[in-house]
A and B are shown apart, each in its own frame.
Chain A
Amino acid sequence: MTTVEEKNSDITLAISNLDMYYGAFRALRDINLDVHRNAVTALIGPSGSGKSTLLRCINRMNDLVPGTRIEGEILFNGENIYAPGVDPAEIRLRIGMVFQKPNPFPKSIYDNVAFGLRINGFTGDLDEAVERSLKRAALWDEVKDRLKSSGLALSGGQQQRLCIARAVAVEPDIILMDEPASALDPISTLAIEDLMRELSHEYTIIVVTHNMQQAARSSDWTAFMTMGEDRSGYLVEVGSTHEIFTNPKEERTEGYITGRFG
């Protein structure tokens, strides 16, 4: 088993001194986090710790909510994604997202996967791209004979894999996953975890999860966040998953992962 250090050594995303506000309320406090390329980084922490909020800052989804603003920066391959003049749509093309509750479009399986390609003016072979994405999401064999049927007719676990196929179709650099398996049954959950590991060979994965065992099983790096007294979320500790789960440095981290707190 390659050590984490061998697996990747460069940072693809650097979050520095990030504060995020909903109007006057500070939701995230002074987040500093480096994300390693082609690895799985898990964000864990109790409810209200700001994990999903942080995730949504990374692909600027919070821009859709009026009244939000950030201070600090997020460098993606060296460039600040919040610099003035940067188009969020461009960012979202390179940083994709899979949501907590599977949300395939009310379209056919084929059209779901092809959607991102079509709206971004794809000029290549659409059939081939759709097939490739569905294979990457470990869904091809199950749906190859019914690509024209509705995406909504699939089971929960299949729908989530469809959403993953949709996200990888545009070949992003980073895939953000917001509790991707929390709405699924245990077998589907394990399938998604396996998929995350597979995908991390080609993509960088950042996953928010409530499920400690999932974080331990499927991630290379783990970041623990919690809610402060001012109700803002902050980063307590980040380290290799091995370290965090056998010998964390911070008491609060230990308290959370052993289930004593949070």
Chain B
Amino acid sequence: MVNNPLGNKSSARGGFDHDLQVLEENLVGLGSMVEKAIVKAVDALKDRDLEASKLVIEEDNIIDNRRNALEETVVDMIAIQQPVASDLRTLITTLHISMELERIGDYAEGIAKISLMMNDEPPLKKLVDIPRMAEKSSAMLRKSLDALVKRSTDMAYEVLNSDDEVDALYDQVYRELLMLMIQEPKAIQRGTYLLWAAHDLERIADRATNIAEQVVYLVTGSTVEKGKIYKD
């Protein structure tokens, strides 16, 4: 699975190659666990499912532990294997990406906590845009990890370009909730909670773009310039 530019012909570093492969599998595994956490948290918010929210909060510990384990492995490999060139970039980006994933997990946990806090009161409104943000953000996350596995800068750029959509949705949610809160002061607490949740989702999308930038660095060896139009 590791896209070694020389293919997987038997080499003098078969052990190292195997370790790199396992590392990537673990990273991607952590990514899908985080992705599921986002979906679960937002579903629980929408469906007012207390149990599901509590589960998300508990499972965040597992995410944190898995991230720490990944980091330890990477530090070990750097010390022992003296990696250079693409091996080095692989390990460094693994470190960065695992951090981003852990943060995304924290945001998902945040959304679950908001669910718990909102459960005491009646629902504010039917949630439409927030689930849509969640869909888009988790799709971005999924694609960024796909880009990693396929070593595809095209897919990474697609992720970078779709950040605008999530930002636009966030603006919409923000205006709508603001409106609601101005009209109905009793809704301010619930409205604020929902704003936070939307903000968390927007941050998740940002983090996904960070992951995409790491993928570009991994493949090309150069960092993406901020503010550029992202294209090949």
Contacts and interface: CB of A to CB of B under 8 A. Distances in A.
Interface of A: 212-213, 216, 245-248, 251, 254-255, 257-261
Given A246-B221, A247-B221, A257 B4 contact: no
Given A259-B12, A260-B13, A261-B6, A254 B85 contact: yes
B11 A245 contact: no
B176 to A, nearest CB: 47
Contacts of B5: 251, 254-255
Main secondary structure of the interface of B (DSSP, over half): loop
24 contacts: A212-B82, A213-B82, A216-B84, A245-B84, A245-B85, A246-B85, A246-B89, A246-B221, A247-B85, A247-B220, A251-B5, A254-B5, A254-B6, A254-B85, A255-B5, A257-B84, A257-B85, A259-B13, A259-B16, A260-B4, A260-B6, A260-B17, A261-B11, A261-B12
B87 interface: yes
B88 to A, nearest CB: 7
Given A246-B84, A258-B85, A259-B13, 18 more contacts: A212-B82, A245-B84, A245-B85, A245-B88, A246-B85, A246-B221, A247-B86, A254-B85, A254-B86, A255-B6, A257-B85, A258-B83, A258-B84, A259-B11, A259-B12, A260-B6, A260-B13, A261-B6
Interface in B1-19: 4-6, 11-13, 16-17
A6 B39 CA distance: 53
Interface string B114-149: 000000000000000000000000000000000000
A257 B5 CA distance: 13
Contacts of A258: 13, 83-87
Interface residues of B, number: 19
Which secondary structure dominates where chain A touches chain B? helix
A242 to B, nearest CB: 11
B124 to A, nearest CB: 51
A261 B11 CA distance: 6
B219 to A, nearest CB: 10
Nearest to A253: B85
A248 B220 CA distance: 10
Contacts of A248: 85
Nearest to A251: B5
Nearest to A258: B87
Interface string B12-31: 11001100000000000000
Nearest to B17: A260
A251 B85 CA distance: 11
B6 A246 contact: no
Contacts of B6: 251, 254-255, 260-261
Nearest to B4: A260
